[in-house]
Amino acid sequence: MSQNMKGESHYTTALDAYPVLKDWVSQYRAVNAVQPKYYIRTFGCQQNEADSEIMAGILEDAGFLPTDSYATGDLILINTCSVRANAEDRFFGHLGSLKQFAGEKGRRIIGTCGCMMTQDIHRSRIEQSFRFVDFIMRPDQISSLLSLIEDGLIHKSIYYTEDRSTKFHENLPISRQRKYRALVSIMYGCNNYCSYCIVPYTRGRERSRKTKDILQEIMHVAAEGIPEVLLLGQNVNAWGKDFADQKQQNFAWLLSKVSEIKSIRRIRFMTSHPKDLSDQLIETIGRIEQIEPHVHLPLQSGSNRILTKMNRQYSREQYLEIVNKLREARPGLSISTDIIVGFPGEELADFIDTIDVMDRVRFDSAFTFIYSPRIGTPASEWYNPIDREVIQERFEHLVELQNEHSLTANMKLIGHNVEVLCEGRSSGDKTILSGRTADNRLVNFIPQDKNRTDASSNIIPATDREGEFIPVHITAAKTFTLLGEEICP
Ligand code: 5AD
Ligand code: SF4
């Protein structure tokens, strides 16, 4: 957004091509004497968060200001997730509660976007029951956001088109939500077709962004003073596999290129698929210090029988071998995982195999999920929900075991000094700061802040230290967090 001679903001360039939206904004300003505000609610993974940052960037460029609730948003976007039924149900719950704010059509602009919007079943439900929605946008249409809003305002019914899809979102403004970490999508889509997963249907085939575009974006990130990048892809270590001319351009090579960008002190990446975790990548993770000593490596199941039914393309033995190689290459490396319980046909013996792999690996943390049937995926046709109680019991057992492993792993750090990248104040206690170690552990710590009086009075530290690397002495450990104190210089 630019400023005119009187210091008033105007936004002619971004809105010039969209006369109806421009008129809507002008009328809003005439009535309210302020800029309209946008609110984006994001469900799901970090890929979705990265998309939301681009949408926020486009809207801010057009003159909208950010706000933090549905009630105060003049333009509302809900970015949806299809990965499990729970996220879908929550989305429809939110949409229901929006009815009270919507008012007559056109007063507020309301759009729904993200993975669910690629599925007819969800679009039809919105069209039938939530007529106050102005437009529906697919994840591959983000670069056309303003044009879809324009059409949403023009059309009386909910606007949706399959046109205006693009392969990539290049050269778009990004409103980064964190000073300490930049989310950088390096590829979109997934080719793996795990039998339980909806993503290949919602996000399409794998498309790798070009090296030049990725490195250029990260150079901007570095110039903005953001010290950490998180390279994102549904199958991040398959980056480059779709290039016609492959040469040495694979994910390991990309990581080493990113590590050459000065002032990027931490390089994170997710999510890695075990089948694409090459020896070259393991060697690179072992050799380059800026690469995080942490890998998120979804196991999904420890049973070979289930892994085959899941179409995961590795065995438990191969998984364990990768873990060994990673730990040899980078001593102290932490490993987190995703595990699904109650996949169709899972027997007790399969579950015991999963427990066995967990005991052998001792993951530092794990996201555990109960299998959720996704219409259109092969596994949903094998679903037989008679064993709900058994599945719930297995789930609880698994969570308990993982909690034990996480706590033991965290306790090993008591008495050690670690470097924490500060993410801001702890959500629970505003006198305490929060951040992550290089191996991705969450640390809540007491700052050595001269302006801080005493913790009991809940006085907020005056210095904003987000994005700073802070040495911390670890004094205690919990299952999901470490506690500590900043070390005096
Ligand atoms: N049911 C349960 N969990 C699922 N995941 C993906 N699809 C499903 C499903 N249908 C989990 C996987 C994946 C994570 C992002 O979500 O563990 O790694
Ligand atoms: Fe949700 Fe998966 Fe889509 Fe991410 S990729 S938004 S987790 S469905």
Cα 489 from Cα 381, distance rounded (Å): 61
What does the mean pLDDT of the chain come to?
92
Share of the chain above pLDDT 90, in %: 85
Out of 82, 119, 196, mutate this one to test ligand 1's pocket (max ligand atoms within 8 Å of CB): namely 196
**pLDDT for 98-112, tens place per residue?**
988 776 666 899 999
Do 458 and 430 meet the contact criterion of CB atoms below 8 Å apart? yes
Query: For strand 469-477 and strand 417-425, is the pairing parallel, antiparallel, or unpaired?
Result: antiparallel
7 pLDDT above the threshold of 60: no
Do 483 and 425 meet the contact criterion of CB atoms below 8 Å apart? no
Name the CATH architecture for the domain at 181-407: Alpha-Beta Horseshoe (3.80)
Q: How many CA atoms lie within 13 A of 224 on its CB side?
A: 19
455 pLDDT above the threshold of 90: no
How would you class 244 by CB atoms within 10 Å of its CB: exposed for 0-12, middle for 13-18, buried for 19 or more?
Answer: exposed
If pLDDT is split at 50, 70 and 90, which confidence band does 489 have? confident
Which range (2-16, 38-52, 150-164, 195-209) has the least confidence? 2-16
- What pLDDT does residue 463 have? 59
8 pLDDT above the threshold of 90: no
Cross-strand partners of 315: none
Closest CA to ligand 1's atom 9: 372
CA of 324 to the centre of ligand 1 (A): 25
Please tell me the CATH code under which domain 3-154 is placed.
3.40.50.12160
Cβ–ligand 2 distance for 81 under 6 Å, the answer: yes
Q: Mean pLDDT throughout 251-270? A: 97
3 pLDDT above the threshold of 50: no
Q: Mean pLDDT throughout 288-309? A: 98
Ranges in the chain annotated CATH 2.40.50 = 417-486
Atom of ligand 1 nearest to the CA of 298: 18
Q: Mean pLDDT throughout 427-431? A: 83
Cα 419 from Cα 268, distance rounded (Å): 16
Do 291 and 284 meet the contact criterion of CB atoms below 8 Å apart? yes
Length of the chain equals 489
Q: How many CA atoms lie within 13 A of 276 on its CB side?
A: 21
- What pLDDT does residue 385 have? 76
Cross-strand partners of 267: 229, 291
Cα 355 from Cα 452, distance rounded (Å): 46
Ranges in the chain annotated CATH 3.40.50.12160 = 3-154
| Residue among 3, 92, 18 at smallest CA distance from 59 | 18
Structure tokens at 374: 């996704």
Ranges in the chain annotated CATH 3.80.30.20 = 181-407
Quick one: which ligand is closest to 310's CA? 1
Q: Which amino acid is at 37?
A: K
Quick one: which ligand is closest to 188's CA? 2
Atom of ligand 2 nearest to the CA of 115: 3
Q: Mean pLDDT throughout 32-49? A: 97
Lining ligand 1 with CB less than 6 A are 83-84, 196-197, 298, 300, 338, 340, 369, 371-372, 374
Please give the model's pTM, rounded to 2 decimal places. Answer: 0.94
Please tell me the CATH code under which domain 417-486 is placed.
2.40.50
Quick one: which ligand is closest to 301's CA? 1
Structure tokens at 276: 């694409």
If pLDDT is split at 50, 70 and 90, which confidence band does 168 have? confident
Q: Mean pLDDT throughout 145-171? A: 91
Residue 384 Cα distances to 102, 285, 310, 388, angstroms: 40, 41, 16, 9
Q: What b-and-e string marks burial along 211-227, b requiring 16 or more CB atoms within 10 Å of the CB? A: beebbebbeebbeeebb
**pLDDT for 339-369, tens place per residue?**
999 999 999 999 999 999 999 999 999 999 9
